[in-house]
Amino acid sequence: GENVEQHPSTLSVQEGDSAVIKCTYSDSASNYFPWYKQELGKGPQLIIDIRSNVGEKKDQRIAVTLNKTAKHFSLHITETQPEDSAVYFCAASFLRGFKTIFGAGTRLFVKA
C-alpha cells in the first residue's frame, strides 16, 4: 500500500550546524510533498512544501529537494537554532486525492 518512510527518527545537532531529514514514498502518483513542524503540545504547522514539477525550493534557512525518479525528498535546515527543536513530519499526497500519507516523524534536538 501507500507508504512514506522517514529517517532518521531522532537527530541531534549543535547550534549552527545543518540538519537533513530524508523521506521516500511509494505511490508514484504523489505530486505534493509538504513538511510540517510540530512543537510540544501543539498541532503540526506547514513549514515548506514542494510540487512534483519542481526539483528544489528554498525559504530562508529551509530547503526541500525532490527526486521523483528515485521517489526521494529531503528537508535541509541550515544554521540551526534552538527554536528549530521540534518533531518534523514529511508527507505525500496527490491532486484529487484526499489522503495525505505521513512519515513517522523526526525529533530534532538543537543543542546550544
Partner 1 sequence: DGGITQSPKYLFRKEGQNVTLSCEQNLNHDAMYWYRQDPGQGLRLIYYSQIVNDFQKGDIAEGYSVSREKKESFPLTVTSAQKNPTAFYLCASTDTGDGDSPLHFGNGTRLTVT
**Distance between CA atoms of residues 74 and 56, nearest Å:** 10
Q: Is 65 in the site for partner 1 (CB under 8 A)?
A: no
Nine-digit cell string for 17: 550546524
Stretch that binds partner 1, among 13-21, 65-73, 78-86, 89-97 (CB under 8 A): 89-97
Residue 90's Cα: distance from chain center in Å?
4
Closest to 88 (Cα-Cα) out of 106, 62, 71, 70: 106
- 54 lies in the site for partner 1, by CB under 8 A: no
* Interface residue with partner 1, options 77, 105, 108, 110 (CB under 8 A): 105
Residues engaged in binding partner 1 (CB under 8 A): 4, 6, 9, 31-32, 34, 36, 41-46, 49, 51, 89, 91, 93-105
